[in-house]
Amino acid sequence: MNDNEPTDEPLQGTRPTARVTKGRGAVIAPQPRYLATAREDFDDGWGTGDEAPPKLSTTVTEEQARSLITRNDSPDVPFSQSVNPYRGCEHGCVYCYARTTHAWLDLSPGLDFESRLFAKTNAAEVLRRELAAPGYRCAPLAIGVSTDAYQPIERSFGITRALLALMVESRHPCTIITKGGLVERDMDLLGELAAHKLVEVWITLTTLDHALARRIEPRATAPTRRVETIRRLTAAGIPVGVMFAPVIAGLNDHELEAVIEAGAASGAEAASWVLLRLPQEINPMFQAWLAQHYPLKAGRVMSLMRAQRGGKDYDSDFSQRMRGSGPVAELLAQRFSRVCRQAGLNTVRRTLDCALFRPPARNAAQLSLF
């Protein structure tokens, strides 16, 4: 899960004109880096320059996955295997590191990532086959780490729920990281997993400021609603952690204590944080977004970012990419540790139980002999 080496220069083929599309995060559209040609918008003199952009609708392509479990040995990632029900994410978080993966489909990591989505409709069937394989060794599965498993289209496709039902059937441990309040729909399955110490849910809170949230993650569940989701999950006996991510010095870092305290007050038992990452196309996209929405803060935000990345916009080194280095990063770490102590978080590290795993029948209709 190592990121490609970053560049501090805008990538070739990036459209130079920023344009805000209502309800979307990206304001520029980097071209897919693997295409042999690149296109750019330009003013041909026929327009006035202030035309409203055309309405952008979300399209979903159903696809048949050949495999589902992705494995990694990254030392800074707290899981060894993960599954993603979808490709692309309608939440539109402008900072999302997974945007770069849309280039593999010859689609833009910009608006294409948040509007041209792919649903792995056979995900539960494929995962069943992989879990039933003779050589499979049980380890917690992280569900929806690249794209949110509870993004809006999950409401109609229900792929994540089907995966959780398989987790219940096979007594397989799993973790979920989400910004979607839709996770509450599956409290019945999550509650059954929690009763056997098989699940942990992490709710990401980037900010408590609704104005910032609407710009930086426009279609994710509203911050106060996510706080309520923490309360409802914990009330149902489901262990929850609050994730303050990404931390953007000069933009949302002043909310660190408030976010962690809000999570703790709602019942969260653990907390974590991740520094903003700007690999590949994410760098020019974020800088364009910053200049468009917060022009007076843009210079300071990027200056503080470079102070945490050894003078660069980004450092993909495993020892640096999640938390950074230098005085600014060290201060963030100290503040986080202090507020967690005060709020009583991270006192006990929950361990999910792998001993209960029982391989599922290869065919869902097949009855087990035992």
Flag whether pLDDT at 369 surpasses 60.
no
Window from 40-49, 215-224, 270-279, 308-317 with minimum mean pLDDT = 40-49
Alpha helices in the chain (DSSP H): 111-115, 123-132, 154-157, 159-170, 187-195, 210-216, 223-235, 256-265, 282-293, 298-307, 327-343
Could you give the CA distance from residue 290 to residue 284 in angstroms, rounded to a whole number? 10
At 190 the three-state DSSP class reads helix
Tokens of 313: 């916009």
Could you give the CA distance from residue 205 to residue 223 in angstroms, rounded to a whole number? 7
Can you tell me the mean pLDDT for 234-241?
Answer: 98
Flag whether pLDDT at 9 surpasses 50.
no
Flag whether pLDDT at 5 surpasses 60.
no
Could you give the CA distance from residue 110 to residue 68 in angstroms, rounded to a whole number? 25
- In the sheet where 141-143 sits, what is the strand order? 70-71, 81-83, 141-143, 174-178, 199-204, 240-247, 270-275
Could you give the CA distance from residue 110 to residue 28 in angstroms, rounded to a whole number? 6
**pLDDT the model gives residue 125:** 97
Can you tell me the mean pLDDT for 32-39?
Answer: 68
**pLDDT the model gives residue 280:** 86
pLDDT digits (tens, 9 = 90+) for 153-178: 999 999 999 999 999 999 999 999 99
Beta bridge partners of 83: 143
Could you give the CA distance from residue 343 to residue 264 in angstroms, rounded to a whole number? 6
Can you tell me the mean pLDDT for 305-309?
Answer: 95
Could you give the CA distance from residue 290 to residue 56 in angstroms, rounded to a whole number? 22
Biggest alpha carbon distance in the chain?
Answer: 74
The pairs formed by 358-361 with CB atoms below 8 angstroms and a separation of 24 or more are: 358/170, 358/171, 359/131, 359/132, 359/136, 359/170, 360/128, 360/131, 360/132, 360/166, 360/169, 360/170, 361/128, 361/132
Q: Output the CA–CA distances (angstroms, integers) from residue 255 to 172, 223, 277, 334, in the order listed.
A: 36, 12, 18, 14
Percent of the chain whose pLDDT exceeds 70? 88
Spans of all domains in the chain: 59-343
Q: Which amino acid does the sequence have at 128?
A: R
pTM for this model (two decimals):
0.88
For domain 59-343, give the CATH number. 3.80.30.30
pLDDT digits (tens, 9 = 90+) for 97-147: 999 999 888 899 999 999 999 999 999 999 999 999 999 999 999 999 889
CB proximity list for 60: less than 8 A, separation 6 or greater: 117, 118, 119, 153, 157
Flag whether pLDDT at 307 surpasses 60.
yes
pLDDT digits (tens, 9 = 90+) for 245-257: 999 999 999 999 9
Tokens of 319: 């020892």
220 pLDDT band, cuts 50/70/90, is very high
Q: Provide the 10 A C-beta neighbour count for residue 321.
A: 22
Could you give the CA distance from residue 291 to residue 166 in angstroms, rounded to a whole number? 45
